[in-house]
């Protein structure tokens, strides 16, 4: 619930406060050319923010593709395992466990958090009975699909990392603050200039929020972190699974029953949980 309150505060109350600020801050003037300095500061902020938005957006689309590819490979491994005399049910269970564990973690920690489950999956694939296969193509296909997952996971780990460092944030915030202070100097005391300055303050703020969400992975997590898993659960004939925090934070739209719910005992300090089937 605290995440919902936090989002309301960030997306509603702070912008409302910034929009109101130009109407209450007293008018003040300085003896230098404000417009020229504002032009330079705005240009620097736009160049830096634009560069980071382009970089983080590229990472976002790369991560989107990698997660989709990982899901497709997991389904393909299960389908290929059905051509073996035994072992497909174990493959289904370890894929299910891998997906459930993956949803316990935010994207930056996803790969590290699922190392154990991924190892179990690779062992289950290697333990299939290849000796009785009449078609060697299935053996090479399932091994090739498994090996692709190593590259996909490595790609996810690299693209989920943050691009914007502490010093970058410091420069961006200082430029944004200087830009906003100079905007206050351009007011003429009328309501129209105050509205324009307020809107520009809100726009600058949302640029910084967008950068943070893209760089930290929040944007990806809110958009499709669990949606890819939903499709894979369906592809392996398992009920959809959602961690309890996703439901509490209202990040899941259009819940379809029945589904499985992970109820944590002490989240986030412990990932120990009970999985319940919700059918009403």
- Domain of 32, in residue numbers: 1-237
268 prior amide bond cis, ω within 30: yes
Query: Are 98 and 224 in a shared domain?
Result: yes
**Strand order of the sheet with strand 273-278?**
241-243, 259-264, 273-278
Does one domain contain both 48 and 184?
yes
- The pLDDT assigned to 32 comes to 77
Whether residue 164 sits in one domain with residue 77: yes
Looking at the fold, whether 185 and 267 belong to one and the same domain comes out as no
pLDDT tens digits, one per residue of 227-243: 788 889 999 999 999 98
pTM of the complete model? 0.82
| Residues contacting 85, CB < 8 A, separation 6+ | 129, 132
* Same-domain pairing of 248 and 222: no
CA atoms within 13 A on the CB side of 113: 17
The answer to whether residues 146 and 266 belong to one domain is no
SS3 263: strand
Both 190 and 257 in one domain: the answer is: no
- How many other CB atoms are found less than 10 A from the CB of residue 242? 21
pLDDT > 70? residue 263: yes
User: What DSSP character marks residue 275?
Assistant: E
What is the predicted pLDDT for the residue at 20?
A: 93
């Amino acid at each position: 619930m605290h995440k919902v309150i936090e989002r309301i505060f960030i997306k509603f109350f702070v912008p409302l406060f910034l929009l109101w600020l130009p109407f209450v801050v007293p008018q003040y003037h300085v003896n230098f050319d404000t417009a020229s300095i504002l032009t330079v500061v705005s240009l620097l902020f736009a160049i830096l923010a634009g560069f980071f938005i382009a970089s983080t957006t590229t990472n976002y689309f790369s991560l989107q593709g990698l997660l989709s590819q990982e899901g497709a490979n997991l389904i393909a491994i299960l389908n290929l395992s059905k051509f073996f005399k035994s072992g497909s049910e174990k493959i289904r269970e370890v894929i299910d466990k891998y997906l459930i564990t993956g949803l316990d973690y935010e994207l930056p920690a996803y790969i590290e958090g699922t190392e154990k489950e991924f190892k179990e999956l690779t062992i289950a694939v290697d333990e299939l009975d290849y000796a009785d296969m009449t078609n060697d193509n299935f053996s090479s296909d399932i091994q090739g699909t498994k090996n692709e997952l190593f590259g996909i996971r490595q790609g996810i780990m690299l693209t989920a990392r943050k691009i914007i460092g502490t010093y970058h944030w410091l420069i961006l915030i200082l430029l944004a603050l200087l830009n906003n202070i100079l905007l206050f100097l351009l007011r003429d005391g009328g309501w129209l200039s105050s509205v324009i300055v307020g809107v520009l303050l809100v726009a600058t703020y949302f640029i910084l929020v967008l950068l943070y969400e893209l760089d930290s992975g929040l944007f990806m997590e809110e958009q499709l972190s669990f949606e890819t898993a939903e499709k894979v659960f369906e592809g392996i004939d398992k009920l959809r699974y959602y961690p309890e925090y996703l439901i509490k934070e209202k990040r899941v739209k259009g819940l379809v029953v029945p589904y499985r719910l992970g109820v944590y005992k002490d989240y986030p300090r412990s990932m120990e949980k009970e999985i319940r089937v919700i059918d009403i």
